[in-house]
Amino acid sequence: MEKLKQLIKKAFSYPAMLRKTHPVTAISIIAATILFAIHSLIEGILDYTVNPDEFYMNVIFCLGMSLVYFSIFSLCIESIRPNWSTVVRSAVFAVFGILSVIMGFIGKFESGHSFSWFFDMLRSIEAYMGKYTVTAFTAGLVGIALLMALYFSYSHDIDQKFNEHILNACSNIFFTSIIYGVIQIGVLLLTGIVSVLLYSDAFNYILPVIVLINGLFYVPAVIMALIKVNERASMFVQILVRYILLILVLLAYVIIYIYMFKLVFTLSVPSNSVFEILTALFVFSMCVAYMCTTFEPSGFLQKIAINMPLIFAPFIIMQVYTVIVRIGQYGITPKRYFGLIFILFEAVYIVVYTIMQKREHEIIGRNLLLIMCVFILVSVFLPGINARALSAAIAKRTLSSYVDKTGAGIAMSDREYSRAYSAYDFLSDRYFANSKTDTYFKDLGEDAVATLREKAGKAAMASNDEPDTRNIWYSCSFSDITGKDYLDISDYSTMQHVMIQDPDNDLTALHVLEPDTLDPIGGPAKGRYNTVNLSEYCMSLIEPFSQYDKNIITWEEYLETVTPLGCIDLDENARLYITDADISLEDGKPVSVSIEGYIFFR
């Protein structure tokens, strides 16, 4: 009981410890927490009916995010403990403060607000760099700052081996999480009691309380666990890691090895999901094995844990195969680029770990953090070969080759069409675009794009790959369709609510059914409207939705384009108004349709 009291007391002492050792970081976290609490409190007061695009709400949220970024940068700076003068220190914090404001506000506001010059500047930066690059730079800077904060904190304040520090920190975070988790469950239960007995809208105000608990207490506790010396991991955590988690990891390895032998004996190829499974398994298993290296190297399980990186090594072959095959078929994208980078990181980790363990009988320590920083620098920031730059350069070259070959009348293979369309699909996605992207399409006309899409679709159907499936949809009201606040029904005698489906996969003869009974409606003349031809309508939604899906147009622009299409004259006596549509595509063609609307009969 006394140990539990000490644990609880220590969990609540971390905020004061953080304020003492990292004052700028602590103040930034407190300010960010207060802003997020105010943001959620306003939402609760307004019963969560506030427009998420409301200017003042966006400002509060973006200021909170800016302070979060600044707290991460200040954590790194204060962990370095540079011997700077007050002027230099203030200047460095000011630079990172400006950078944090830019990171917090960029891409969040449209024109027409106060301080429009500031938002115009941010939009110019985003247009020049591109949304993806802005997001990648933000994530990269945050990741490097956190890794370097841990690196320098370990250098100054921690005299344990790095693997021991990781185990002890995880143990500390585990029990601290339980304490604050129980507190939040208690707050939830108390709010439920208040909601039933005293104030029915009490749950509207629980989010600010949760934000305050986590921001003022839990986050500082996690930070201090990572950057300060912790007590030896509890026996419970040691048993959990050494026996339960390690055995679960080993069982997963056995399953993967059985799967590999199955592929060899059946001459099959790995599933597309293998890469994601093995990536997650590497991260989890290496963390477990790394913590297990703190225990005495005795016993069968412990010997396996020490050699686990070597046991994982054969799995890299399957990861390489799945990524290379996709790149060969469709070209490289940032996602596949990061797949290759992660495989390279796995190989480097295994090699370095094995060399140090065999030659020096040591486990790789804090230098692992530097290796991770190098991989982030290369894949995110290094000009010319980062994920976006390299993917765009290869896609541009692929697209140029397609234009040259079609212009010269040179025949192309199905694989070339697939790669060319994937390059076009990647470059036309506004999320990955920047100020130079539009110049890539100057020689690519609409006819060439239509031909490319058609050829690539046929190539996909002819291949053994899984079909490219996606859904397109929209929903609107009568006023959206007519552009008026009313509907003129003077020329009609009857209105029928209908559900239109395609049990026979024939868009030219879609079944018109009663929504409740799913029986044919029949129409004024029995059997007249049992089926309708909406093939042209379904096809007309594909291109606008594709543009929305690639961030070329907004959702509002998409609705503005497709909503008028939902007014269809079935013949001179009936008009169909479509209010909801859900269409499944396979390789770019509709294969399943569910439409809801109203037929007006004269």
pLDDT digits (tens, 9 = 90+) for 445-492: 666 767 776 666 666 555 545 555 667 777 777 667 666 666 667 777
Residue 581: the pLDDT is 82
Residue 558: the pLDDT is 78
Which residue positions in the chain have pLDDT lower than 50? 464, 523-527
Residue 524: the pLDDT is 46
Residue count (the chain): 602
Residue 7: the pLDDT is 67
pTM above 0.85, yes or no: no
Q: Which string of b and e fits 177-203 if b means at least 16 CB within 10 Å?
A: eebbeebbeeeeeebeebeeeeeeebe
Handedness of CA 190, 194, 195, 197 (dihedral sign): positive
Residue 216: the pLDDT is 92
Question: Mapping DSSP to helix (H, G, I), strand (E, B) and coil, where does residue 151 land?
Answer: helix
The rounded distance, in Å, linking the Cα atoms of 579 and 570 is 16
The rounded distance, in Å, linking the Cα atoms of 432 and 455 is 24
DSSP string, 430-498: TTT--TTGGGGGTT--HHHHHHHHHHHHHHHHHSSSPP-EEEEEEE--HHHHHSSSS---TT-SEEEEE
Residue 143: the pLDDT is 94
The rounded distance, in Å, linking the Cα atoms of 61 and 540 is 39
Q: How many CB atoms lie within 10 A of CB 473?
A: 12
Q: 88: burial class by Cβ within 10 Å (0-12, 13-18, 19+)?
A: exposed
Tell me the CA distances in angstroms from 410 to 220, 243, 246, 419, one per residue in order. Answer: 64, 62, 57, 16
Residue 227: the pLDDT is 85
